[in-house]
Amino acid sequence: MTTQVYNFSAGPAVLPKEVLQQAASEMLDWHGSGMSVMEMSHRGPEFISIYRQAEADLRELLAVPANYKILFMQGGGLGQNAIIPMNLVGCCAQPATIDFVHTGSWSGKSIKEAKRYAHVNVAASSEASGFTGVPPQASWNLSPGAAYLHICTNETIDGVEYNFVPEIDPKVPIVADMSSHILSRRIDVSKYGVIFAGAQKNIGPAGLTLVIVRDDLLEDALPICPSAFNFKTVAEHESMFNTPPTYAIYIAGLVFAHLKRLGGVAAMEKINIEKARLLYAALDADDFYQNRVSHEFRSRMNVPFYLRDESLNEKFLAGAKARGLLQLKGHKSVGGMRASIYNAMPLEGVQALVDYLNEFAGR
Ligand SMILES: *Cc1c(COP(=O)(O)O)cnc(C)c1O
């Protein structure tokens, strides 16, 4: 018997119980092979079948068009902040220009890293208002001939989520960091040039990074781009130019199959809307708690909040822990609290948190 807890970690984060149970039951002997997935050659028929099924299921879940490659890489979201410029800016006269919209900590880190490879234009920023929303697109100062536009569609620390897809010059690809909300809502992949996501938020274990890239963008790498991080090389080798993170891919594949059984991304989106509605309603009920993000850009996945009386923070966290509500402490850069309510957080978990919020506020 394990203790019933609800884990609100921002990442690595909660995984579906069914997936962990299946992985446990297959740990020593995968499908009668006599081997653990961890012990298999990535080039053997067993792992190749695991890989191909994961790829196909993800393609189906996100309706990824045929002219996009799905790459299973390493290096995390932060790795992609260098890998993407190295793969995309070779298209243009050097130094190329990359446009960014700065909406919080993660787009901020992307900006910093990209400066090593290109000229960076911050087309818009919500920093002055404390990262509480996305600047309206009409205010963006985009560069003519930019190599691409980079946005972070869900800012995990600030709790800010895009509620629109930018409409820009179709010749300029949009690169989207979807690390913390991929598979949580329907998206139109064809609107983007590159989508990337570290797996440890909404997909699976840390160590796997997902990249979805339009195939005409595979030709623009800088000569300095390492082969193992060159999108074209990785694509040509079905993500097996070097050894991929095999066990993480296997778990991600179990998550994809699980999501399909639940009805896919549309079904997840419906539940996620309901979970977020419940939680924000409890935070908004009076001024005991506060979420500072403007309502239209409030993230459905990451909900940062503050206690009006911050001297109660430790008491709040201790009481939460005693009820099995774990990892609610906010990111150290912003303080306060944060509840991450990814796909694998059940409605009952959010309800348990809401009950505690009400009780602690004395309602
Ligand atoms: C977690 C996160 C990252 C960083 O991922 P690493 O795997 O730690 O490099 C990047 N972007 C966003 C939006 C994230 O939430």
Q: Report pLDDT digits (tens) over 125-135.
A: 999 999 999 99
Asked whether residue 107 carries a pLDDT value surpassing 60, the answer given is: yes
Give me the domains of the chain, ranges plus CATH numbers.
Answer: 21-260 (3.40.640.10), 264-360 (3.90.1150.10)
Binning pLDDT at 50, 70 and 90, where does residue 94 land?
confident
Specify the pLDDT at position 343: 98
pLDDT at 3 over 90: no
79 Cα nearest atom in ligand 1 = 9
Q: What is the DSSP letter of 96?
A: P
**Rounded Cα distance, 272 and 278, in Å:** 10
Q: What is the pLDDT of residue 1?
A: 56
Asked if residue 242 belongs to a known ligand binding site, the reply is yes
**DSSP state letters, 219-288:** T---TTS-GGG-HHHHHHTTT-SS---HHHHHHHHHHHHHHHHTTHHHHHHHHHHHHHHHHHHHHHSSTT
Work out the average pLDDT over 252-273. 98
pLDDT of res. 91:
87
pLDDT, mean of residues 142-165: 97
Q: Kindly report the CA angle at 123 between 118 and 127, in degrees rounded to 5?
A: 110
Which of 113, 154, 156 should be mutated for ligand 1, with most atoms under 8 A from CB?
156
Is 177 near ligand 1, meaning CB less than 6 Å away? yes
- Active-site residue set: 106, 177, 201
CA separation for the pair 80, 96 (Å, rounded): 18
CB count in 10 Å sphere of residue 139:
9
Q: Dihedrals φ, ψ of 176, to 5°? A: -125, 125
Report whether residue 156 contacts ligand 1, using a CB cutoff of 6 Å: yes
Share the mean pLDDT of the chain. Answer: 97
Angle at 163 between CA 158 and CA 166, to 5 degrees: 105
Ligand 1 contact, 75 CB (< 6 A)? no
